[in-house]
């Protein structure tokens, strides 16, 4: 398997496959207005009521190398068949894929650039569920940046009857480049003005075989 690690500067909506991810990206773009990342208090979730069960917030973990689920909606916990809030967000990935996921989450937090992850989930009943995670920078209450986003499966999952996700397999990852205003205070604070967190296109070799 090859994992595509991409960064694009345009046509963001065409890169996002799931309608839920597209709707969430549009909501985030509208809410942030001229800011690099919206403030959490500015989020009016009533505007995206149908997406709320699929929403997540991911934050840096206690160590500098990890991430954890700060919040996870009921649909996301139902998909994973476990309570995710407070748990390790990299749990279930092998070391290679965890490294890729971590790099893109770091790109959201330190580069203020949205990311898009596509992956396959295998249930304990050998069912396959394709899913998309979109991660968007969000100014946390009290300072810092969290990853605000959603996990959206590409099939109906309520009737699967599974009790666990036994395997995760990353199929694609990209950063969605968004422009920041030169005088944006948040960009200045993070020292990221004019810098891309990733090269324009890279294919990572060495992933798991089919």
189-207 pLDDT, tens digit per residue, is 776 444 444 443 333 444 4
Residue 37 has pLDDT above 70, yes or no: yes
CATH of the domain at 160: 3.30.450.20
Q: Is residue 210 part of a domain?
A: no
Q: Which domain holds residue 148?
A: 3-204
- Compute φ and ψ for 172, nearest 5 degrees: -170, 150
Residue 55 has pLDDT above 60, yes or no: yes
pTM (predicted TM-score):
0.85
Report the pLDDT averaged over residues 65-89. Answer: 96
Q: Is residue 29 part of a domain?
A: yes
Number of folded domains that form the chain: 1
Q: Is residue 156 part of a domain?
A: yes
Token pair listed for 167: 């395997």
In this structure, the number of other CB atoms found within 10 A of the CB of residue 70 comes to 19
With a CB cutoff of 8 Å and minimum separation 6, the contacts of 171 are 1, 3, 118, 119, 120, 130
Give, in order, the Cα–Cα distances in Å from 88 to each of 20, 41, 73, 191, 208: 24, 25, 16, 28, 22
Encode pLDDT of 128-179 as tens digits.
999 999 999 999 988 899 999 999 999 999 999 999 999 999 999 999 988 7
Q: Is residue 209 part of a domain?
A: no
Report the pLDDT averaged over residues 109-128. Answer: 96
């Amino acid at each position: 398997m090859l994992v595509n690690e991409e960064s694009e500067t345009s046509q963001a909506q065409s890169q996002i496959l799931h309608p839920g991810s597209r709707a969430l990206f549009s909501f985030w773009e509208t809410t942030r207005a001229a800011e690099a990342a919206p403030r959490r208090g500015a989020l009016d979730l009533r505007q995206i009521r149908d997406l709320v069960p699929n929403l997540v917030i991911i934050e840096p973990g206690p160590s500098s190398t990890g991430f954890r689920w700060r919040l996870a909606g009921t649909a996301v916990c139902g998909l994973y068949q476990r309570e995710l809030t407070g748990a390790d967000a990299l749990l279930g990935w092998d070391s290679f894929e965890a490294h890729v996921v971590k790099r893109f989450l770091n790109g959201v937090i330190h580069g203020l650039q949205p990311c898009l992850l596509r992956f396959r989930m295998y249930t304990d009943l050998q069912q396959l569920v394709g899913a998309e995670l979109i991660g968007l920078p969000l100014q946390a209450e009290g300072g810092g940046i969290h990853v605000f986003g959603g996990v959206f499966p590409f099939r109906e999952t309520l009737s699967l009857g599974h009790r666990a996700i036994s395997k995760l397999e990353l199929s694609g990852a990209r950063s969605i480049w968004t422009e920041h205003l030169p005088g944006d205070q948040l960009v200045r604070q993070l020292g990221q003005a004019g810098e891309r967190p990733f090269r324009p296109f890279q294919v990572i070799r060495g992933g798991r075989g089919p």
